[in-house]
Amino acid sequence: MGLADDWRRLVAALTGRPDTAEEARLAALFQNRSELKKELSALDDERHRLLDRLKLQEGSTMRVEEQLANLEQYLGRPEEAQKCVAYFQLRAVWRLASRRLEQFATELTRQQKDRERKQQLTEFERNRRNRLDDLDREIYDARIRVDQLEAEQAGDRERLGAMGGFWNYFRRRKLEQTVAERETRTEVARTSLTDLGDQRHAIESEAPPAFEGTSLEGRRSVNLAVIACAEGLCERLASANLVLQARQSTLTRIYDADFGGGTQSAALIQAATRAIGELDAMQDDLADIKRRVDRLKSTAAWRGPGDTIPLQESVGPRDAIGRGSINVLLDDYFDIQKLMLD
């Protein structure tokens, strides 16, 4: 595009002549130039971001491959095989106990919610029934009042119709005034009766209140019961120091685990296998849980009036479980802390 073309466009702009189609197309291209630059910059940023993610993923893949290679070498040593089996058996015990505790907490939370919702609905129905009963008595009295006024009105109208002759003029005026006043009272009574009927219909049509969630006391009760259930699980796994070994397996790597010699590892594998079978088949001992909850209620303390999770030091067991005294909330046994209702 030369100087002549620029001069032609300037002359066209000064004389008011319309641009040619080619000039209009070029103008549109220049207008879209900034948008194209923005899109190109965004695509370039996205490319760099994807490249960074690819590098991170490649690094993660290399680390996993390195870990697998190390694990293969580790498992290839015969003296470590039995220890590995014991390690993963203990982790299986821990996971199974955690799953049982989670199921117990979920079911107990649902039951508590259903119980409180049912209680709320029962209280709502009782309150509505009482209001309806009170309103029915008012409606009954109002209906009797209307019937009485209408009966008196009908009687006076009949007497008024029978009063003929000029000698009954004053009596008839007085009775007409009485009838007019009673008609006003009758209309008021009818309106009141209609209003009472509308109120009754409104009360009957009331929807139950929305459930705003489990109460503070309900959540506290659930939390104490979950703690009690976790203590019961610890007691069942206390044989052969299994519960402490299972927790330790979640805190250490397989390479750092140490269960003693082959005899100790074999005994631990047998104990873990039995425990897995017992955990699969066992039923929750509700009597034992209730007994533990009663004990926890007598010792549990709360940081504030609105807190639902007890202070950890206030719910420790009175007696030792297994070889040591275990505070399931303090040591987060079976991942109990994530099950606490707040």
DSSP letters for 164-223? -SGGGHHHHHHHHHHHHHHHHHHHHHHHHHHHHHHHHHHHHTPPPPPP----HHHHHHHH
Tokens of 149: 């006024």
The fraction of the chain above a pLDDT of 90, given in percent, is 41
For residue 110, name the pLDDT band (cuts at 50, 70, 90).
very high
Which of 177, 204, 231 marks a domain boundary? 204
Which of 184, 204, 224 marks a domain boundary? 204
Q: What is the mean predicted confidence (pLDDT) over 57-63? A: 85
Strand partners, 324: 321
Q: What is the mean predicted confidence (pLDDT) over 304-315? A: 92
Which of 155, 173, 204 marks a domain boundary? 204
Indicate if 131 and 107 belong to the same structural domain. no
Q: What is the mean predicted confidence (pLDDT) over 77-82? A: 69
Is 245 a domain residue? yes
Indicate if 96 and 183 belong to the same structural domain. no
For residue 321, name the pLDDT band (cuts at 50, 70, 90).
very low
Cβ(285)–Cβ(232) below 8 Å:
yes
Q: What average pLDDT does the chain have?
A: 84
Q: Is the pTM of this model over 0.85?
A: no
Q: Which residue has the tokens 């303090």?
A: 330
Domain that holds residue 333: 82-119+215-339
Per residue in 246-275, pLDDT (tens digit) is 898 888 887 788 877 777 888 888 888 888
Indicate if 232 and 317 belong to the same structural domain. yes
Region of poorest pLDDT, from 117-121, 175-179, 297-301, 320-324? 320-324
Number of domains in the chain: 3
Per residue in 12-52, pLDDT (tens digit) is 555 555 556 666 666 666 667 777 777 888 888 888 888 88
Indicate if 67 and 102 belong to the same structural domain. no
Is 210 a domain residue? no
Q: What is the mean predicted confidence (pLDDT) over 267-288? A: 86
